[in-house]
Amino acid sequence: MRFTEATRETGLARLEAFVPRMGRAYAKGRNYDRGPDAHRDVSGLSPYLRRRLVLEDEAVAAALAAHGPEAAEKFIQEVIWRGYFKGWLEHRPSIWARYRTGLLRDLEALERDRSLRRAVALAEAGQTGLECFDVWARELIETGYLHNHARMWFASIWIFTLELPWRLGADFFYRHLLDGDPASNTLGWRWVAGLHTRGKAYAAKAWNIAQFTGQRFTPRAQDLAEVVEGLEASEPEGLPPVAPLRVPQAPDPARPSVLLITEEDCRVEDFALAGFDLRAVATLSASHLRSPGHVSEAVAAFEAEALCDAAARAGQSAETLHAGVPGDLARWAAKAGARQIVTAYVPEGPLRDWLDEAGPDLRAAGIALCEWQRDWDKAIWPHATAGFFKVKKQIPRIISQHQLL
């Protein structure tokens, strides 16, 4: 699957083109990985949904209108999974902190261990000798995308067959996926490793790969790990308790403001900007925060175009800020004469970490960081405390509440 333009117009065109397949065709064919130029039964909307160039409720409404709630059930559930993972991580922010700390440890081990370094390099280059895995690695680098089923197989092979640290695999994905977000990527890898649903690791099976790639790949059973045991022993402390959701400070239209546009939400025109005294507007380049390693140029370019498109649609002339020294954020806002920075909600992840680091300088300058939060997230996140089933039960209410049917 190839992605050309990171604009809302392109995202909406992709949405419209896929509407006829959002029903039973999606339910029947969504698990088949047919190859990078033949993904007919998955939408390819994820890079646009991730940045809210296309909104989740727009995708769900389109599916409902064309197919009704029964036939569109699987498509709707997959859209809502993204919100579930985000909410789950918001309830357990320490899981993200564990990942970042553990990744630094794994990278330090990589520097010390020559054989591990070589094994990881071969895996990332698609040179392990296992055809399916190698093709997926190269597809990820070349296109910025992998079919969701291939992501599961790949992660399982990385962890259990190649016996490589799972965080290094998650980092490899996050550096290259155009749709990568910290919740879906981190929790997806944790799920495969048996850490999300503890004790239930995902095993890549040769027959499953052969069937759902249409025989494009036919690995032998002995090519893959025969015994797959979850990694829960590596986290003896278990999952942290569910924490209350963070309540952001709401923007005050009466205060002099600057608008900060990030890739977390490229539909800022939804937030009644005309009612604010905006002294300056900026887009924030932050893709490099994804990893201590080199983040794909394609990811950075997609982010830059999405941000430019967001500012243009909002009718704003925006300067470009780089998420470098956190104190620069306060200096930019103060120079504009602002008393608050207004932005869309930034969930757990590297940008949230960076904004938290900017907090002391903002407070010292008397500048508030204020966030708009979408009703879609407010409807899903409170229920994302355990497995997906709790959220799934709420789907009829969410559909009704948002008048999508």
pLDDT in tens, 11-44: 999 999 999 999 999 999 999 999 988 898 999 9
Which domains does the chain show, CATH number per domain?
Answer: 8-90+380-401 (1.25.40), 96-234 (1.10.579.10), 257-372 (3.40.50.620)
Express each pLDDT in 248-299 by its tens digit.
999 999 999 999 999 999 999 999 999 999 999 999 999 999 999 999 999 9
Tokens 């910290």 locate to: 182
Confidence of residue 4 (pLDDT cuts 50, 70, 90): confident
- Helical ranges in 197-284 per DSSP H: 206-212
* CA–CA dist 8, 47 (Å, integer): 11
Is residue 312 very low, low, confident or very high in pLDDT (cuts 50, 70, 90)? very high
Q: Quote the CA–CA distance of 20 and 35 in Å, as a whole number.
A: 21
Model pTM above 0.95: yes
319 three-state secondary structure: strand
Q: Check: CB of residue 262 under 8 Å from CB of residue 286.
A: yes
- CA–CA gap between residue 153 and residue 310 (Å, rounded): 35
- Cα separation, 61 vs 266, in Å, equals 19
